[in-house]
Every structure is written in C-alpha cells, then in structure tokens.
Structure 1
Amino acid sequence: MKIRMLVLSVMALVGLSACENDAASMLIDGKEHSISLMREQSWVWSSQVEQRFIVSRLPECQRRYTVDPGARTMAPIELYEIRAMLYVAKQGDTWYAVGTEACQVQKFQEKPERIPGRLLGRFEQGEAGLVFTPEKVAP
C-alpha cells in the first residue's frame, strides 16, 4: 500500500511539473504602472496555454484580461508604444490595443495595415521562464 501511494505521489509531481504558470512585466513608470503577461497551463496534456494581460496604473486602475490562448511553445508577443498610455501587442497575426489610462485591452478585428508606433520589446520564453526583453535602442 505504501509503495502504491509513493508511485501515485511521484506521478502527480511529474504531471504537475510539466504545467506552465509564469508571468513577466514591462514596467512603464515603476512597479505601479505596468503591462504584464501571465501564462497558465492547467493540465499537462493540454496543448494550449491560457494567456492574460494584467494592465496596471495604480491607484487608478488594475485589470486582468483573458486573451487568445497560446501554444506550449510560445510565439513572442511584441509590444509597441503608440503614445503615452496607449500600446499595441502583437502575437502572430493577432493584435490587441492596450490602454493604461483606464486599464483596457481590446482585440483588433482586423490587423493594422502597418506596424504602429515604436517597438518597446517582446514577451518571450527565456532560459528561466517568461521574460520581457526590451528592444535595444541604437546609440
């Protein structure tokens, strides 16, 4: 009986260890003004990972939005600045408007004809997990 419980415990740990639960943030004006991405894979056998943007400008607002699910192998999400407090996020062919003034996210119905704004960086898988990698600025 003890061996059976040990085997079940090990199997549970192995199954849970393959699930993803990670987050990364792009800080705008310190930790109270940011755009974060959270990725969660609830089940090891699932091929999709739930993705959420957390838009924060404290103390005025902070909201979490579920967006289209991603694959286990993450396609990077590029983040562009349109103007102060207005951003665009792009993952593959999917585009989102992200506003920090009222902490809002909205999916584009059609992709823009041109890439808007200035590329700030991208949310992507790093060696230790999900990271926001800032775009290198030319000297």
Structure 2
Amino acid sequence: MFPSRLLLLWLPLLVACSDQRAAFEIDGSRQHTLTLIRVQTLPWDKTARYAVVVARMPDCQRRHEIGAGGAETRVEVFAPGNDAWILKQGKRMYVVEARTCEGFARLEAEPEGGLGPLQGSFQMRNGTLGWVGEPVAQPAAAGATAGQ
C-alpha cells in the first residue's frame, strides 16, 4: 500500500514537464516552416529550454538548440532575405537558413543591413505557445493618388 501512495505523491512531478511547439509557415506552406520548441521542466520554473526546427521539405530539416531563456520570453522572427531568418529572443539573436537547413549561428550584433522585416513572433498566450504574425501591408489601390 505504501509504494502506491508514494507514487501518487510523485505523479504531479512526473507529468509536470511542458513541451510546446508552434510553427511559422513560410509563404503559407506547411512544407517550409520554422518551428519553435519550448520545454519547461516544472510549471513554476521561470526558464525554459528552446530549440528551432527549420524545414524546407522534402529537401531538408534540422533542429538547432537555442538554449535556456525566460519561460515567457517572446521570440521575434525577421526576414533579412535569401532564405535566412533572424530569431531575436530578448537581447540574443540567432540566424538560421532554409536553403540547406544547416546554417545556424548566434549573432553578437545586429547585421549591417538590419534585421529585415518583422514577420511575427512566437509567444505565450494563456499558457500556450503560439505564432502571432505581423499584419501584411496592403498595396495601394490601382489608380489611387495621394490626397484623394
């Protein structure tokens, strides 16, 4: 009887690990994505471990470890071009590429050409990791002129 009670005491700790994933579909394609993985060991931990999976199927897919960060930290995604993506987690920045999915590096400073347009961010909302895209600017209507 005692071992089963002991197991019941440990059960909440055994199921406490949170492994959440959210994906940014590049150009709206499920075959070309950046997926953020967030693993938090215990619900009260103030940090989580992060990784990103870059995929351009069927050609390549690779997981890159980002490391630990704040449990509620937002990860912004910028598009500098040429199938490269810059992830910004607080003050830390990483670049990943989707041509071969092999390239990944931590950036010590913002690139000379800038980060590129913000695509959106991975963020926690009501305890769930999700992707929040930036609104796409709509082109001006054909024939419209300034001042009308």
TM above 0.5, yes or no, is yes
Amino acid at match of 2:86: V
| Structure 2 partner of 1:9 | 7
Comparing 97-106 with 9-18, which one deviates more in the overlay? 9-18
| Structure 1 partner of 2:77 | 79
Secondary structure at the residue paired with 1:11?
helix
Contact 1:16 1:44 in 2 (8 A): no
Amino acid at match of 1:136: P
Counterpart CA distance in 1 for 2:92 and 2:132 is 20
- How many residue pairs get aligned? The number is 136
Residues 27-65 of structure 1, C-alpha deviation per residue, up to 9 Å, x if partnerless? 114111100100113456754321101000111110001
Q: Pairwise CA RMSD of aligned residues?
A: 2.3
| Structure 2 partner of 1:54 | 53
TM-score when normalising by structure 2: 0.79
Counterpart CA distance in 2 for 1:62 and 1:97 is 15
Cα distance, 1:20 vs structure 2? 1.7
| Structure 1 partner of 2:40 | 41
Counterpart CA distance in 2 for 1:129 and 1:109 is 30
Which ranges of structure 1 fall in alignment gaps of 5 or more residues?
A: none
Identity, % of aligned pairs?
29
TM-score when normalising by structure 1: 0.83
Q: Give the structure with higher Rg (CA).
A: 2
Counterpart CA distance in 2 for 1:80 and 1:126 is 21
